[in-house]
Structure 1
Amino acid sequence: MASIQKISTGYRVRVYYYDENGKRRTISKNVKKERDAKKLARDLERDVELNKYKTNMPTLKSFIDEYIDTFRVGKVSQASIDIDKWSAKRLFSIKIYKNKELIEEVKLHDENIRIDKVTPTMQQKVINKLFEYNYSLSTIKKTNSLMFRAMERAKFDGLISVNPAEYVEFKVTDKVKKAEYIPKELIKPFLTDVKRRNIYHYYLFRLIIETGLRVGEACALKLDDFDKNNLYITVDSSYDQKRDILGNTKTKHHRKVYITRELYDEMLNLTKLHETNKTIIGSEYLNEYNFLFVNEFGKPISRSSIHNTMIYCSKKILGQQISVHKLRHTHATLLLESNVPMKVIQERLGHQSMEMTEKIYAHVTPHLQEESRILYENTLKNIF
């Protein structure tokens, strides 16, 4: 696989290959012009194909690492890359901790197995083992998704003929599915409880419920992102609080999200609170990014405190814990129940495809299913 990277002196061409021991190797050469880089990439790939360089079948681990480096880094968000890297580790071993002490390491796929020797049965056993150690269905599906995507690339490269992750079966559990959203009749009591616990979290949660923004997108907002005359927010960045990085949105697409006058007024109230804090705190107040969602000292609201408030208030009001991401689901549910077209919901939420939106939200409430049934029955009555 060849990659072309623009550098200060021109272009760098890299081609990855494997030596006779299956170890990953790299050929790297620089040229000044883009057209020369493309020709060089083709020539190097041809030389590798003709065995000018000693090549052999790659190991599963080396190929997955290469897949992430070549097809994910620089093309998807850092959060998605991190998910893939954790999934990659989970394909080969899982570590069991108790009180932060490692008590067991379970080996799964052999890191040195050749990619063409991995069978569907081997992958199924890995998935079964993850279920055995009580990993969530979401985590297990992410792990298999990485394997599937990498193996599809291996098929395209002619390394394998069967994708071992394609027909994996996931265990069906009898556990009652937790709430995926906050019912509309509980939104106000929920926000009232959040406001009582943490005023800054209240403003953040209210905005997410009313706009459907991702947490990182909301935390990156500045007052300048709000158009007070046309009442919309420009969403063009996301804040990674863990790494203190302000970057692109998850899909790297900018969008406008329309809001109500009431929500805009609430954000103005938040800025007034910040102005009061500046006066009281004085020189210790520092809002480095000029973010809207900061604490009393101007520091970005920590994800751990957001999580703790969400867990506490959802358990108290809903009777069970749900994550802050479910505020986004709550917004989608309100749109669906208001008969907003799915295409509009897709664009508002910033999903790359309609399929993703339909998969997540099309059956989000029993009420919608019942409403559809009644409409269909009425249609049939009018016909017959």
Structure 2
Amino acid sequence: MASYQKYTTKQGQLWLFKMDTGIDATTGKRQTTTRRGFKTKKEAQAVATKLKQELESGMLINNNNLTFEEVFKQWFTNHCQTIKPSTKKALQSKFKKHILPRFGKLKIKEITNLYCQKMINEIAQQIKSVNDIKIQANQVFKYALKMELITKNPLAYVSIPRSAKEMLSDDNEDTARTYWRKDEIKQFLKICKLELLLRDYALFHLLIYTGARKGELLALTWNDIDFKNATIRFSKTLTHIDGNFITQTSKTKVSKRLISIDDKSLTLLKKLRTSQLETILATKCAFDDNNMVFTRDDGTPMRLAYPNEKLDILIKKYTLHRITIHGLRHTHASLLFEAGAGIKEVQERLGHSDIQMTMNIYTHVTDTVKEQTAEKFQRYIEL
């Protein structure tokens, strides 16, 4: 049986009901549930009747003692149906490494704001991407809230701590720069031409000249390149899951894009294709001809970590300013702005779904662009 009660809030009078939900299998004690926020007694009675039916039919199990890990498994089972295999793999890794060891065995209804803040502070001391960890853990708490397993989200008001480095003034901001300037790019490409195989030189050249994501380039097939119209179509990305290489659709709808390429890039791609065909003829059955642009010596897809490793080796050997493979994409965008391209053009070329992503790069654009902006203003005002 349910009992009903009227109570007063700032918004006026509302109704609640309390109901016996049976024996807790863990403690052996009887327990009750309370549901609040109904405008009328009739609304409360309707929900109470439905809850009673679910309890009697066995549709509703006692969730009072569910751990965070048990709720995570419920949420993840549903969430996996909406994401790509590569995203699923990344999520599993984040939960296994950072979230479940700290929250997994705790009853989700007993996790407090204070504990969440303590754990976020701890994670922040270990990794830079602590905000992403918070976002993922928060999805589980939101799911628990939606399923009425908890009455409030203990992670909702947790703040991300700033590192001491972030709060100190850095006189040498160049050390934090995530892209290369034009002279650095020229130097790097000269090094690549001298040091690397044609395939690797072409890979780094295209990373710089197209601004493509690493996975997009490694998934390219020769059918994606139109030599006549000088274009490349990006519509998929390469990923590695459970020991197998798979290609999956692009990150977002706008990631599928057709971009123009310059004559130098086209010439380089023609040389690479000729070299690859010669290898196929020479090795015959030993080469796995899957029509991919960038492959290993036997024709199989390249490892996703390979470009990162090569870049790291060259940076160390020639004492270059340290950036990542993704930094080459940032470099392409920065140099496009420097060359006079508009924000919309850069957004479409890079396949950004949100123009704010492009704007974030624009706000960190090179000093050359800032100087050009000042010169433009001077020329205009002096006319």
TM-score by length of 1: 0.73
Kept in 2: contact 1:239–1:246 (CA 8 A): yes
Determine whether 1:66 maps to 2:74. Answer: yes
The C-alpha deviation readout for 1:79-104, integer Å capped at 9, x for no partner, is: 322222122123446xxxxxxxxxxx
Any idea what SS the aligned residue of 1:293 has?
Answer: coil
Among residues 110, 118, 125, which one is paired with 1:117 in the alignment? Answer: 110
Kept in 2: contact 1:84–1:143 (CA 8 A): no
Among residues 136, 159, 165, which one is paired with 1:146 in the alignment? Answer: 136
The aligned counterpart of 1:239 is 238
Give 5+ residue unaligned stretches, structure 1: 1-18, 23-45, 94-106
The C-alpha deviation readout for 1:315-357, integer Å capped at 9, x for no partner, is: 3445344322221111111122223222332222222212233
Determine whether 1:182 maps to 2:180. Answer: yes
Q: CA RMSD in A?
A: 3.1
Any idea what SS the aligned residue of 2:247 has?
Answer: strand
The aligned counterpart of 2:214 is 215
Give 5+ residue unaligned stretches, structure 2: 1-22, 27-49, 167-172
The aligned counterpart of 1:40 is none
Rg larger in 1 or in 2? 2
Determine whether 1:172 maps to 2:172. Answer: no
How many matched pairs? 322
Aligned letter for 2:197?
A: N
The C-alpha deviation readout for 1:204-251, integer Å capped at 9, x for no partner, is: 111111111111111111121112233221211111246311211222
Separation in 1, partners of 2:176, 2:288: 39
CA distance 1:119–1:358, change in 2 (3 Å): farther
Separation in 2, partners of 1:192, 1:219: 22
TM-score by length of 2: 0.73
Aligned letter for 2:94?
A: S
Kept in 1: contact 2:116–2:158 (CA 8 A): no
Kept in 2: contact 1:271–1:292 (CA 8 A): yes
Kept in 1: contact 2:24–2:62 (CA 8 A): yes
Among residues 108, 112, 117, which one is paired with 2:102 in the alignment? Answer: 108
> How far off its partner does 1:165 sit?
4.7
The aligned counterpart of 1:356 is 357
The aligned counterpart of 2:30 is none
Any idea what SS the aligned residue of 1:213 has?
Answer: coil
Aligned letter for 2:92?
A: K
Separation in 2, partners of 1:260, 1:322: 24
Among residues 192, 195, 208, which one is paired with 1:194 in the alignment? Answer: 192
The C-alpha deviation readout for 1:49-102, integer Å capped at 9, x for no partner, is: 94442232443222233333323x243333322222122123446xxxxxxxxx
Aligned letter for 2:357?
A: M
Separation in 2, partners of 1:198, 1:273: 11
Any idea what SS the aligned residue of 2:179 has?
Answer: coil
Kept in 1: contact 2:131–2:160 (CA 8 A): no
Q: State how 1:1-384 maps to structure 2 within 5 Å.
A: 50-51=54-55, 52=57, 53-57=60-64, 58-71=66-79, 73-92=80-99, 108-109=102-103, 111-132=104-125, 135-138=126-129, 140-158=130-148, 159-174=150-165, 177-195=175-193, 196-241=195-240, 243-251=244-252, 253-287=255-289, 289-317=290-318, 319-369=320-370, 371-372=372-373
> How far off its partner does 1:364 sit?
3.9
Kept in 2: contact 1:212–1:332 (CA 8 A): yes
Separation in 2, partners of 1:181, 1:49: 61
The C-alpha deviation readout for 1:152-195, integer Å capped at 9, x for no partner, is: 44444453433515432223242875431121112122122223
